[in-house]
Structure 1
């Protein structure tokens, strides 16, 4: 986290999670579900605000837990952001749940995955592969949730939701091959094998999805080991995420 920057930037980094890849995973499925629905409206905007606030609240609560169980004083910097973002989340989410009671059921379905992430935060193993994959599932499931206020039934949007799941699940091992596991041949082989399988599965959802997923496979095979800097890796993933969103909106 760039918390050493003075002034407003430092304050912003204290409140906004620095997990840059997470923001794309939060936004792309939600926006796809919103704009694939027949009648997106104000409820989608409120739901998006609740979704982002819920992520911020969970992030700070989990970071506080991770540091507090180790007796580190740095846990205190997450306490106020956790409390404020939780209150803001409740202020938006509770009225939404009253107007749309089915949202409570959606929240219950996401709870086990949040529990997994909390467990790994408690153990200090947030970079574990399972933890990353557990975060992907509810994020992609939000495509189905975001579509319903606009009049889409979950059965109408399952294919774009699965496409999001295929892509974002693949980013977990791929990013590891670019940064933390860049010297692991096993991770590289596993990432390429996954992307090859994801390409075949995506093509079954729609032949047009073979185009972006071929590019995802190519980057998983060609880029590890080239010594790309982290900002470059991030920029490539932003481009891949935007390509997925555009493809979903055009195809479905």
Structure 2
């Protein structure tokens, strides 16, 4: 179990961001055999990137000896991703365009890791973009079109971008009033934008605004904060599947 914990990334909030947009794309479109290995390659790729970034970060930080423990997982997850991804590229060459579109965001994340600033607000926001873009990839894998996926992908982007400052107000920046005000302001704007995409989306986004305004400063523990975000993510998935599926 201890080995598993070392290999599986401990960024718990990232798993919802990886899964929900992808699953929304599957549910909005038509299920396809391609979507399952593609999802597995997506998760393996995330694990590879996580360990590679940790290796880069710790190597940069005074040649930290802990960097070595990330080398093997990074290599093995990268190998597994390529082993699964290359046949997928042969079956669906358009996936190369999706990978190319994500590459600049990955480069920015690696740069922040190298500077040991991976928890910077901007870095978190950059990471959200390709994750939400996977809704379009999953939808296309099921025969859908960009036009069909644009609105739900933007809804995912509005929600998950908001989780970046919100979670900071609950944990690392919980004593900074400026962060709380900024988070609430963002969620108010996101509510309006989501309602313009689809009036029904005003329902979950009103709840997201309420939790951003009310929960900071309440002393909630990390597990409860995480549980609330899982519920919020599933709520979004339900509205997207029901409204666009």
Question: Superposition RMSD on alpha carbons, in Å?
Answer: 0.6
* Cα separation, 1, equivalents of 2:170 and 2:4: 27
What are the within-5 Å matches in structure 2 for residues 159-178 of structure 1? 159-178=151-170
Match of 2:60? 69
* Cα separation, 2, equivalents of 1:116 and 1:154: 25
| Deviation for aligned residue 1:118 | 0.3
| Deviation for aligned residue 1:155 | 1.0
* TM-score relative to the length of structure 1: 0.95
Match of 2:236? 244
| Deviation for aligned residue 1:191 | 0.3
Match of 1:226? 218
* TM-score relative to the length of structure 2: 0.98
Which runs of 5 or more residues in structure 2 are unaligned?
none
* Cα separation, 2, equivalents of 1:158 and 1:237: 23
Match of 1:60? 51
List 4+ stretches of structure 1 deviating above 2 A: none
| Deviation for aligned residue 1:40 | 1.3
What are the within-5 Å matches in structure 2 for residues 24-173 of structure 1? 24-37=16-29, 39-70=30-61, 71-173=63-165
Which runs of 5 or more residues in structure 1 are unaligned?
1-7
Q: How many residues align?
A: 243
